[in-house]
A and B are shown apart, each in its own frame.
Chain A
Amino acid sequence: MADSSALIDMQNISKVYQMGETKVLALNGVSLSIEEGEYVAIVGTSGSGKSTLMNIIGLLDSPTEGVFQIRGQRANGLTGRQLADLRNREIGFVFQQFNLLARAPAWRQVELPLFYANVARGTARERALEALAQVGLAERADHKPEELSGGQQQRVAIARALVNRPSLLLADEPTGALDTRTGEEVMALFEKLHEEGLTLVIITHDQEIAERAHRVITMRDGVIVSDSDAATATANGFRNGLSRTAPAPLPRPVAIEQDEEKMYEAV
């Protein structure tokens, strides 16, 4: 295996979704390593497997095949309880669909990770309000999702991802619903936290945002087609992750035949 000091290390990861008779190959042999303190953008066409990759990195999903390690530990060797604790303490996850509780006010949504981290109620509320203030929603703490705009909902989701001070932030299109100015503010907040040591992995369709990252990974049809990796990227404040995207690889079928059963046994 590769460098075991890496925060995240993936070797030959595949993910197959079974859809009745057909199988969908969402990830097809992805190998990737992310070091502590990196600032990574993942770009790629819709359906290229970015969210699938993110779910695996965030310990929400397990690969069908391949080895996934976090801090040198194989994820499939961890118990459900250990995985839950890692998700709670180490990882902040901004979901593409926000995933807010329908009937809870904003501060309760943000407080949720602290509830499972056993933070005392008073402290938890305080920290939730702080996190909301960070994303400019101090005034909206008592509003329920249905009383918030899409961008405000997205910022609640961001506050929730940051509230337990994770060491790794996984953000799936965190500025998708935000206007340029608010998006800029959120990115500035992320980058400030990055300066303080937070590892950032951001999925984006926005070229400007991708260009701010120190490393850009481009995906297509379940494979990484280009990776301007940290070593080359950091040297010159490298900004052209998107333009350096390799020419389109051979088109490959996304739906594969059913008889490739062996794929399921690995994990």
Chain B
Amino acid sequence: MKLFRYFPVAVDSIAANKMRASLTMLGIIIGVAAVLTILGVGRGASANILDEVASQGTTRLTISPSTESEGEGAGAPVQTLTMGDVRALSDAAFHPDVVEVVPQYGGSIQLVAGSNNKQTRVTGTTADYAEVHRLEMAEGRFLTEDEIAQMSNVIVIGTAVATDLFERTQVVGESVRIDGEPFTVVGVLEESGNAGFGSNDDSGFIPIGVAHGRIFNVPRYRGEYIVTSVSANAVSEERVEAAEGQIEQTLRLRHGLGADDDNDFTISTQASLLDTIGTVTSTLTLLLSSIAAISLVVGGIGIMNIMLVSVTERTKEIGLRKALGAHTSDVLLQFLIESLVLTLLGGLIGIAISYGLALLVQRIPNFPIDLLIGVDALLLAVGVSAGCGLIFGLYPALRATRLDPIEALRYE
């Protein structure tokens, strides 16, 4: 109760020195605004990526070979995921929850059209790839079952590849060369818009058999071509785990793994991917916020500095207050609360600025990320600024209490 009495005193004294007060608060304002904005950007970015991932379907499973070398030997890692596995997994009798098993074998290779050429990631795959990865077509169509079966020289390319090779995107029917072999363009993918995660703008797709047999020099394992990964869909979101179990069982059996052996492959689901992304973005956000938090500390030291100056400047006032009956605790509280009010005010202004930025960002069309400021971040900002006020105000306040009234009154 009694504490509240000091607030008007603090406000009066801050109001009496507005210029100094605002300079003091600047450090806290910048610190709080920086921390909140970075937290907001981190949250916005992670929400964006999560949306993106979710929009690509939540039933997808991706199987990739483990990269650890087999046994204790120092030799090159043996890659064991093959087309044989793909055929086995396609058997619906043993994998009732798995549909659309799609092999992929990809590598970076040069595409040539006329005098233009472009190094592109080309993936050999099957017709279901478009379905499993939710690809949209801008022109033409994706690879067909027939083309896969007949190992036709056809290719589907991304918009970036199309514009680099032909300076336009309506290129269905044109021909590109890979290793001197002509391929007919049958489709161009929809531009994915964001240049980052999961974009196919800079890739090409050809039948898996062509990739294995003619384009890449693909090693075999137990007589079967290896693949770089296999995608599949579960029948529904609820059956993702069941599908994962069925795939794991088949692959362990086929790879001859004993009960004690680890999997020589990894199955990742969209759910696990979401988890990973969440962890990565929050780590990043934490890192950036810590850097921004340094500015808060600097701001706090600024507060301490100004409060020390203020105590010296107001020596006479302190002497007078003591002469008129102020206790040591009165003087302590007066100065502590003054610095608390300063930092809280700074914190609130910082919050307002970051909110203003968030609103501004929302108005920019096509801005890639939102600024999301949560209640927890707000409470943190208020707490931290109040903490700064108390911690950095304590020493100057203690200095003020040590003054002898008559000495202080005489101070000029």
> A interface vs B, CB < 8 Å?
55, 58, 60-61, 80-81, 84-85, 87-89, 93, 95, 99, 101-104, 108, 112-113, 115-118, 121, 160, 164
Residue numbers in A under 8 Å from B409 (CB-CB): 60, 95, 99
How far is the CB of A20 from the nearest CB of chain B, in Å? 16
Q: How far is the CA of A81 from the CA of B326 in the complex (A)?
A: 8
Count chain A CB atoms within 10 A of each CB in B16, B319, B324 and give the residue with the most. Answer: B324
Closest to B317 in A: A101
Residue numbers in B under 8 Å from A108 (CB-CB): 12
How far is the CB of A191 from the nearest CB of chain B, in Å? 24
Contact B320–A60 (Cβ < 8 Å): no
Closest to A99 in B: B320
User: How many pairs of A and B residues are in contact by the CB < 8 Å rule?
Assistant: 54
- Range class of the B interface residue count: 20 to 34
Task: Enumerate B1-57 residues with CB–CB distance to A below 8 Å.
Answer: 2, 5, 9, 12, 16
B322 at the interface (CB under 8 A from A): yes
CB contact under 8 A between A118 and B321, given known A60-B409, A84-B326, A99-B409: no
Contact A117–B325 (Cβ < 8 Å): yes
Contact A81–B327 (Cβ < 8 Å): yes
B330 at the interface (CB under 8 A from A): yes
CB contact under 8 A between A88 and B324, given known A101-B317, A104-B12, A116-B330: yes
B95 at the interface (CB under 8 A from A): no
B328 at the interface (CB under 8 A from A): yes
Q: How far is the CA of A160 from the CA of B323 in the complex (A)?
A: 12
B406 at the interface (CB under 8 A from A): yes
B405 at the interface (CB under 8 A from A): yes
CB contact under 8 A between A85 and B325, given known A95-B409, A101-B317, A116-B330: yes
B212 at the interface (CB under 8 A from A): no
Closest to B4 in A: A121
Count chain B CB atoms within 10 A of each CB in A55, A115, A117 and give the residue with the most. Answer: A115
Contact A118–B325 (Cβ < 8 Å): no
How far is the CB of A192 from the nearest CB of chain B, in Å? 23
Residue numbers in A under 8 Å from B9 (CB-CB): 115
Residue numbers in B under 8 Å from A101 (CB-CB): 317, 320
Q: How far is the CA of A160 from the CA of B5 in the complex (A)?
A: 19
